[in-house]
Structure 1
Amino acid sequence: MNKIISEFYKRPLVRDTIKTTIWSTVGKAAGFLIPFFIAAWFGISSETDAFFFAYGLILFLSGIFAPVVESVIVPYIAEARTNNEDVGRFVGNILA
């Protein structure tokens, strides 16, 4: 059984998937804890309310645009790279 698991883990896709999952979980946990640390450090005030509003707004907007990037832009870039198109120019136009 150990040999099967070690052979399975040696595959680059599996190894990278596991590493990405672990780091993604760590990042989500850190993002979950940030408001608690800020509230404990600064207490209740209008400044912390403004911070949490801005923080929530940024998370909301990134939650809207991240799926668009994953489902539309990344496949387009992958296809453009296989057709030897200028991907750098496309990405530069998006970021500008």
Structure 2
Amino acid sequence: MRAGLLAALLGAGGAAAPAAASTPEAWAQLFRAAEAACLAATGLAEARVEGAPVDFSAHVLVLVRGRWPQPHMTGAPPAAFACLYAKADGSAEAHERRLP
């Protein structure tokens, strides 16, 4: 189910309409929490968020790029992950993006 949702989100190019925010501070806090959880969920070294988080009704989509931490992956192209942060429980699930 999540894989299908993730594919749909990535296929849509993140073109979802944002919901109304309660306050700018609340949005900033939500996005900081989502970014921190997603950076940790990837397990990448030198991980960084790409672009702005995308808000959906129950999740926040965060795109992350970094390098693989395993020594045998030295020199490999950067890894790219899409991560869904669940607003309800603060969990994050990250999956590698394999783009052509």
**Comparing both chains, which one has the higher relative contact order based on Cα–Cα distances under 8 Å and sequence gaps of 6 or more?**
2
Give the TM-score normalised by the residue count of structure 2: 0.29
**Structure with greater proportional strand content:** 2
